[in-house]
Every structure is written in structure tokens, then in C-alpha cells.
Amino acid sequence: MKTKVSNLESRLKDSSTPEERAMTLFQLGWELKEESAEYSLDLAKEASEIATGLKDERLSALASFLESACYYLIGNYNSALSRLLELVPHFESLQDNYYKSHVLNWIGNCYFRLGDYAFALDYFTKSIKLKEEQKDRLGLAYSINDIGSVHQALGDYHKALEFYFQSLKIKQELGHEKSKAFTLNLIGTAYQKLGEDEKAIDYYLRSFEILQSVNDQRGMGITLSNLGELYQIGGDVEKAEQCYSQSLVYARLVRNRFNEAATLIRYGRLLLSKKSIDEAFSEIHLGMSIAVEMKAKEWIAEAHLALSQCYEFENNIASALMHFKQYHKVNEEIFSRESDRKMKTHFVQLETERSQKEAEIYRLKNIELVQANAMLQETMRRLKDSDQQKTLLLKQVREQSEALEKQSKEDSLTSLYNRRYLDKYLSIEFERAKRYDRPLSVAMADIDYFKKVNDRFSHQVGDRVLREVAQIFKKNSRISDVVARYGGEEFVLVMPETIKENAYIVCEKIRQSVETYDWKSIHPNLTLTISIGIAQSDDIDNYEKLIGKADENLYVAKDKGRNLVVT
């Protein structure tokens, strides 16, 4: 990055035309925006003035995009959002889908920071479609990351990890270290939420090591804040305090106000645990004031919760309850707004249902909450309502991403996992097996003489055979196993935590079930057998070689006369 910045600074000094200067200002500002957003904002404004004088619509749009990104990075999400929304039609008129896709993603991030998860998801999804068309793989990886963050914000941490690992794989293939560190940090946050602290620390430290190597102070500040929270939960107050202190230094150096607010509130909770109540109040109030200024509802809510805990410590029950109710109110506001906006997105797609759904939303919004006799009961009931709203929104999010997910993982004929999903799953499972020294077995299966089935009885019969064999695999494999159609008449069975001797027992059961199945129910002259090769991950370098070894053993089974299982 330093070399690139130096080259751009030299080009800026030597620029001979206004057009060249404006473009170089944009490129330099874009490179420096995370390190110094305010300086980049000045560069963007100068570029904008030049572009306006030249009446160059493209340069104006690029300068405005840089301005928007800088406003986002310093925490002024509303200013960023209003500018970004205006930019969409400009890039459409320029027929520039590359920048349009990135603008859509930044819009999604603004909505995400403002707590509007439904709108965020909608813009991330639109951005992904354009990036796929543009073959913008790095941009696609960022958008996939962001969809994972929406799932994480809604509490679906396993789904978030699926998206994070998908993004990480692309970034690893591209060799983009800085963005890889960003995803490693997010994976750490998901594992932390799942209570898998060792994994979380491992991913945080891997992220920090990369960020330190490229001197990304913004990223280091975010990762240190997350590490601090994890150490605090684990009871290591000294390490937590060190992390928070250094995180605040980085956050203030690069003016990452979102991370500053988050870290102050977390640090306030740590001070409360040390019974330093006055200092705790001071840090939490400062964090809340920043969050309120940014309209970052996530941390406004967390600040209210932390203040509630402080007042409870002082035995000031009235103030504690007031802040607890405010915490719940902000959370309820986030999720109720999400449900509303999510439905409105569906209305655009389903015009015939618009009136009916709008009437239903109006009715739901005007239902009066039943008044309980005790204030505590009312608060608990509101919390329950919030959980129900969250569950509803999560269901809607899953439904919206179902088509994309189905295409990426399911074989349309057999309803098994497809090869694309198998590669992703097996790479993760292989890494886990190696990291924790656990057994992993893989079986490669092939229907014997399947070509003769198609040639003799028709392709329709062949398709029915494939579907039935798929069902035999499902019925005879275990709940922890994953079955995929590898291609044609080949199937793969992944068996985590399984040595090859136990894998043999599972596969022999499948082989016998295929041999004894009533194939005459499909065609009077039909009989069928299957051959299977098994490999275990011991002493194998990567998952592709593991598949290859299973395939070798499959061919041994074929050479020995078929209808065999070979390890």
C-alpha cells in the first residue's frame, strides 16, 4: 500500500490536466480513507470541485462516492446514506455496474449500522447479483461477508459462519491479506457468540497478526476491542484492560467512532466488574453520547443495558429499570422497523398482495399491549415480544436467501448436496480434523454399469435409479454424515469423527441395501449394485487428496469385480 500511495502522491504533484488531478485525488483518497478518513474527505471535496468545473459526470460521481465512504468511516451514517442513495441513478446513467454494485453495498452497510437490517440485507443481495455479473470476486466476498453479519446480528451464528467461510475462501484464493484479516475477525466474533472461546481467540489473533503486518490501525483497533471483551468474559481483567486501552488509541487515531463507542461501553462494564462505579459511569456515558450522535442503535441499546447494571449495583432500582426499559425499547424499535421494511420489499415484488399485507401491518402496529399489574411482568412480556419479532424477521431473512442458498448447495435431481457445496464443506471439515487431530473418513461410491441402465431402460429409469440410490444413502448414513452427488452416477459420503474401520461398517450397510433393494418396482428386468472406496485423512495433506485416495480405492473395488467396499 505504501508504494501505491507514494506513486499516487508523485502523480498528483506531476498531474498536467484538471482531469488527471481529479482522478488521482480520488484514487489517493480511496487508498487512504481507512487510515485517515478526514484527510481523504478533503481530497474528495477538491476532486468534486474540479469535476463540477469540468462538468464531468463520472468524476463527480466518483468524488461523491469517496465523500460518502469517508462520512461512513467517521460514523456519520445519515450523511453517507443520503449521498449514496443519490449516486445509484448516476452510475446507472453512466452504465457503470461496477461502481453501482459497490455503492449498493455501502448503502447496505449504512442501513446495517443504523440498525435497519432488513434494508441492509436487501441492498447486499442486489449488490451480490451485480458483482456476480461483473465477475468482481473480491467485491463479492465483501458482500457475502456482510450478509453473514446480518445473520449474526439476528443471532443465527452458524448461518453467519457459513457466509464468513465462503467469503474467506474467495479471499484466500485471491491472496488479499487485508480483507482476509477482516473476515478472520468476523469468524472470531461468531465463535465467541457460540461460546467457543478457544476458536474465537485463535481467529482474532490470526486476524491481528495480518493487520499488524500491513499496519492497518483501524482493523487492529476493532480486533483488539473484540479480544478485550473475550478476555473480560474469561476473567482475565488485566489482558482485557490492555486490549481496550490500545483499541481506543487506534480508534481515535483513525477516527473510528463506532469502534470507539463500542470499546468505551465494553470498558465501562469492565470497570463496573472492578467496582470502579464512577469511572464506569463516565466511560459508558461517553460511549453512549458517541453512539447517539451516530444513531448507532446497537450500541445505544448496549449503553442503556450497561447503565442499568451500574444503577443496579448502586441499588438504584428505579434508574436501573428505566435504563433497562430503554434498552428494550431501542431493540424493539430495531426489530419492528426491520419487519415492516422487509415486508415492504416483498410488496414491490408481489403487487397483488400489497393492500392485504399493508392492512395487516397497520393492524399489528396498532394492537395495544396488555397492561400487566407489575412493572417487571410488563418488561418481561415486552422482551418476549421482541424475541418473537426477531424470530419472525430471521424466518423472513432465511426465506429471502433460500433460492441463492439452494442453487449453491443442492443437486436438483437427487436433492443431495452438490459438488460445489461438498468442496466448501469438506475443506472446512478437513481443516477442523487436522487442527484438532480428529479422524475424518470419506467414501467415494459409483453405481456399477450405470451406463447400461440408461442405454437399456431409458434415461428416465436412470434418473429414478439415481433418486432411489440417494435415498438409500440418506436412510443408511448417520445424522452427522454428509452425502453429496459428485457427478453422474458418483456419490460422496463424508463421515466426521470416524475412523475408516467404522466407515466400512456404514458403507457395507449401504452396499447391501443397494444390492437387495426391489429394483423390479422400477423395471422388471432391473438389478443394481454399487462399488465404494474409503479413505481416512491421516497423513493426507489436503481434502482434494483425500477425495483422490477414496477414488483410488473405488477403482480397486471395480477391478476386483465390483459390488465391493474397499478401504
Q: Over the stretch 84-125, which tens digit does the pLDDT of each residue have?
A: 999 999 999 999 999 999 999 999 999 998 888 888 888 999
Give me the mean pLDDT over the 3-20 stretch. 88
Contact 566, 553 (CB under 8 A): yes
pLDDT tens-place string over residues 221-252: 999 999 999 999 888 999 999 999 999 999 99
Length of the chain: 567
Within the chain, how many helices (H) and strands (E) appear? 24, 5
User: For 41-50, 345-354, 388-397, 484-493, which range has the lowest pLDDT when averaged over its residues?
Assistant: 345-354
The torsion of the CA quartet 461, 467, 472, 474, rounded to 10 degrees, works out to 180
Look at the block and give the residue holding cell 484514487: 27
Which residues touch 281 (CB under 8 Å, ≥6 apart)? Answer: 268, 307, 310
Give me Rg for the CA atoms of the chain: 28
Contact 106, 69 (CB under 8 A): yes
Which of 158-161's residues contact partners 24+ apart within 8 Å by CB, and which partners? 158/194, 159/398, 160/186, 160/190, 161/187, 161/190, 161/191
Contact 438, 496 (CB under 8 A): yes
The whole-model pTM stands at 0.57
Q: Is the predicted pLDDT of residue 344 greater than 50, yes or no?
A: no
Contact 207, 169 (CB under 8 A): no
